[in-house]
Amino acid sequence: MERGVQLESSDKSSYIDASRWHGHENCLNQMFTLYREKVNSLICVYNSLTGTFPIGVMNELRDVMTHMTQSLLYQEEEKVVQHLYKAQRHLKRAVVDAFKYVSMAYSDEYDAFLETYKNVDLSYIDNGELLPKLTRLNSEAEQLMIEAKMIESDIHEDDQMYAAYERCFNRYSELYDCMINAIEDADRLKLRAAEEAKLKEKEHRTDRTIGIIGVAVGVIGVVIGIIGFII
């Protein structure tokens, strides 16, 4: 059998020294807070919606860990600062990518919602305000996504990209919450529509049966009349 990857190393120079992070606590706290409050929660949302993990985000997190590890392997303060800065940039990019991934997942949920309830009269929900609100939120979210992509392609400035994709995500999140809040009423209307369709089909079958019987009775009457005439 092929041996597994050996993780232990006899190279003592590769051992980390966490004391090299002294003086950088503020930067580290910002990074850990950003990961805990943004990246991790967005990954959880995306995973719950799609059953998969956002590959782009995971790749950025791998780069974050690479630079944080490198920052502990160098003696020079300049190298420590350099790698922590790069780790911070990759983490912010991870958040940007997470905003994009979840926004697209919410967009897919919107399409699925419309498909699921395409035969349901949703105008009965929220006094007819649901559909116009969903349409408006989706349109605004799509426009914000376009604007964010333009900033990403033309400017490549981290803070502006972050802010643009966060605005887009917030609008898609509002759209998703609106759908979730309407699902119970939409399901009730869908069930009612299905029951009404079933009742109409039953009535149609009954009318058709009565019609067939009526025709049959008429034919029988004609036949009897002809036989009586002949006799």
Indicate whether 148 pLDDT > 70.
yes
CA angle 186, 187, 192 (to 5 degrees): 100
Q: In the numeric block, which tokens belong to residue 1?
A: 């059998």
pLDDT tens for residues 26-51? 999 999 999 999 999 999 999 999 99
**For the chain, first and last CA: distance in Å?**
101
Amino acid sitting at position 208: R
More confident residue, 182 or 9: 182
pLDDT tens for residues 155-208? 778 899 999 999 999 999 999 999 999 999 998 888 876 666 665 665 566 556
Amino acid sitting at position 201: E
Indicate whether 84 pLDDT > 80.
yes
Confidence of residue 17 (pLDDT cuts 50, 70, 90): confident
The closest alpha carbon to 79, from 92, 89, 68, belongs to 68
**Percentage of the residues of the chain whose pLDDT score is greater than 70:** 76
Indicate whether 7 pLDDT > 50.
no
pLDDT tens for residues 200-229? 665 566 556 665 666 555 556 555 666 666
Q: Which own/partner pairs from 66-70 qualify as long-range (CB within 8 Å, at least 24 positions apart)?
A: 69/16
Position 20 scores a pLDDT of: 85
Position 225 scores a pLDDT of: 62
